[in-house]
Structure 1
Amino acid sequence: MLKSVHVNPLQCVSAAEAAAWHQVVAASTAHDLPGTPPPDAGRIHAQLTQPALGSRRLAWLAVGADGVPVGVAGLRMFTSPGQEHLAELELHVDPAHRRRGAGSLLLSAVVTACRAENRRSLIAAAAADSPGEAFSERRGFRRALTLHHLILRLAEPAEADLLRIADAEHPGYRLTGWTGTVPDDLADAFAAAKNAMNDMPVGDLDYGSVAWDADRVRAMAQVIADRGDTLLTIAAVHEDGTVAGYTETLLPRGSGTRAQQYDTAVVPAHRGHRLGLWVKTAMVCRLRAEHPGVVEIETDNAEDNAHMLAVNRELGFRSYRRAHELQLDVPTA
């Protein structure tokens, strides 16, 4: 069966190759995650062709003997100091073409690339009890972190409840917000706050750490803009000018109705003041006012991140599925 599948590395991804990639991912997502919004073709093209932040991307396309695309693998090679040991895998096989060797061939190419790049850790995400999880565990991946995916229907929180939280007094703090790149006068303070994400629960993942500065913050916003997405941020600023906490929400390109939660963090010195709930509530109010076409937000939290799970559930988020971060300790040559 393996002879009927060929794996081709992609160099400069063409429009036809991006379309083939989208075809496979759309079929895989519809089968394994029913109810999840379908991937946007333009967004996938941008992800495959636009530079990434702190990483570079390798990609492979598996085709059958008739030239039909049957599987894809994308490998994100992290390049930032503190993460040079790490690679992240995205692998999809069209359900109509599974159990014919495409996934195994793609993973073999990925592992070979990791070894050539001296990557000791390969991580991947898979829905709990899904075909992707079973495939990964049969090939040596182990569960390193359990995630709860949650959805908030924006119409559900009562206006009075949102206003009660949003208008609560937080002496010494004020809220501010922006779209896209952080304003220059907050860039350094915001970058310092981003470093609070380095103490987020990561289970047994060999994830490393990321050092944020103003240039990296601006570069992240540019990467998101270049692929056609919109980044919204709400921040709590202390009277001394410190960004004490923030939340980020991504609006995917196209006409999607589901927003994606990005980071939410509170700087350790400012915890205990319910700033996380404050900024997230302000974001819900902003989405309702400025983006009425968005009807829900998806987020995920590590199972052992009890505090953020409690914040999200107080706001009205409800669990709808679990996922696992899986890790393969890459064998040395």
Structure 2
Amino acid sequence: MTVTVRDLRPDVRADTEGWTLARRLALPFFLFTPESIAYDAAHRHPDAHFRPLVAEENGEIIGTAQVGLVHDSPEPGQGYLNVYTHPEHMRRGAGSLLARAAEEHLTALGATRLFAWVLDEPGNRAFAERHGYRASRNAHFLRLDLAHGTLPSLQDPPLGVELRTGADFADDPRPLFLLDAEASADEPSDVDYEFTDYEAWLVENWRHPLFSPELTTVAVVDGRPAAFSAARTDGGTRYGTAMTGTARAFRGRGLAKLAKNDSLHRARAAGFTEAFTGNDAGNEPMIAINKWFGYEICATEVRYVRELT
């Protein structure tokens, strides 16, 4: 059968379900639902020129690609394409077709540097290198068995620290936006980001269908959010940490660990059985914290870069 590439139709349930199935099988450490895929397609910032693509064979979606510009970076001309193929449909040409369509889209938008995450497996790395990409940094996916694992005991907050949930900020989430922006700016990355658009943050993070304000924990010091662990769930049994971070003025006090432990305990009490998170391979302090919780590395990705001339 012939493999074809086309745009995802976010308003067609068969498309979003097909995308979710193919992506979950290719990348089972990340949370996706049909609703989240449709939401992302409809609500990404217009400057991102976000374009989800699918590879289809005989009416079945066998490959997916997320494509867009890094609009929230101070450096223009940076694009991304994250291509994954259904593991039972490899070597049909789906990945190459998706990559070609993505590169044409980004080139037409003026992109001069392209970034792509690739699972750290020989075939995947060879695929990226054949297409002109060079390896950059690594990142890990980590998994925690909430159903059978043992979490560290809950600790009482230190004097002057209060633990709240994200839902407590429903009337005014701006303090959490400011905390997220500051913590994210210091995340290890080969792309610089600037979170300055509060309305975009509300749409892409706070109102995202996977985001769980009830399971998000915020450590508050003297009325100011000082550290947080943002939670996402798939509506079933899987929980994920979207971001854990601390404001610069409060680092070194264990507040991020305190917040994440509280969130994990409440997730387990709510019936979630698996917890996932991700870490840049160079972020040794956060990797150490996650191992303290019992997380184990379950896969590694490599970020590849291609310079366009």
**How would you bin the TM-score normalised by the shorter chain?**
0.7 to 0.9
CA contact (8 A) 1:19 1:45 kept: no
CA contact (8 A) 2:10 2:38 kept: no
Task: Confirm whether residue 193 of structure 1 aligns to residue 188 of structure 2.
Answer: no
Cα deviation, 1:43-85, whole Å, max 9, x if unaligned, reads 444444x312573421333344x55544333313333363653
Q: Aligned to 1:79, what secondary structure does the other structure show? A: coil
Aligned positions of 1:206-225 closer than 5 A: 207-212=191-196, 214-225=198-209
Q: Compared with structure 1, are the counterparts of its residues 192 and 150 closer, same or farther at alpha carbon in structure 2 (3 Å cutoff)?
A: same
TM value normalised by structure 2: 0.84
Task: Confirm whether residue 173 of structure 1 aligns to residue 173 of structure 2.
Answer: no
Return the alpha-carbon distance in structure 2 between the equivalents of residues 188 and 69 of structure 1. Answer: 39
Q: Percent identity?
A: 24
Give the alignment partner of residue 299 of structure 1, picking from 277, 281, 296. Answer: 277
Larger Rg: 1
**What residue number does 1:6 align with?**
4
Q: Aligned to 1:99, what secondary structure does the other structure show? A: coil
- The alpha carbon displacement at 1:263 in A equals 0.6
Q: Compared with structure 1, are the counterparts of its residues 118 and 284 closer, same or farther at alpha carbon in structure 2 (3 Å cutoff)?
A: same
Return the alpha-carbon distance in structure 2 between the equivalents of residues 43 and 191 of structure 1. Answer: 21
CA contact (8 A) 2:10 2:16 kept: no
- The alpha carbon displacement at 1:130 in A equals 5.4
Q: Aligned to 1:80, what secondary structure does the other structure show? A: coil
**What residue number does 2:19 align with?**
21
Aligned positions of 1:145-294 closer than 5 A: 145-154=137-146, 155-157=148-150, 161-163=152-154, 166-167=155-156, 169-179=157-167, 182-185=169-172, 187-194=173-180, 195-202=182-189, 205=190, 207-212=191-196, 214-225=198-209, 230-231=212-213, 232-239=215-222, 241-253=223-235, 255=236, 257-289=237-269, 291-292=270-271, 294=272
Q: Compared with structure 1, are the counterparts of its residues 11 and 178 closer, same or farther at alpha carbon in structure 2 (3 Å cutoff)?
A: closer
Q: Which amino acid aligns with 1:269?
A: A
**What residue number does 1:126 align with?**
118
CA RMSD across the alignment: 3.0
Structure 1 stretch displaced more, 73-82 or 272-281: 73-82
Q: Compared with structure 1, are the counterparts of its residues 196 and 97 closer, same or farther at alpha carbon in structure 2 (3 Å cutoff)?
A: closer
Cα deviation, 1:196-252, whole Å, max 9, x if unaligned, reads 2111111xx2x1212246434432345413xx653432111111x322111111011
- The alpha carbon displacement at 1:116 in A equals 1.1
Moved over 6 A (4+): none
TM value normalised by structure 1: 0.79
**Unaligned 5+ residue runs, structure 2?**
none
Return the alpha-carbon distance in structure 2 between the equivalents of residues 283 and 38 of structure 1. Answer: 17
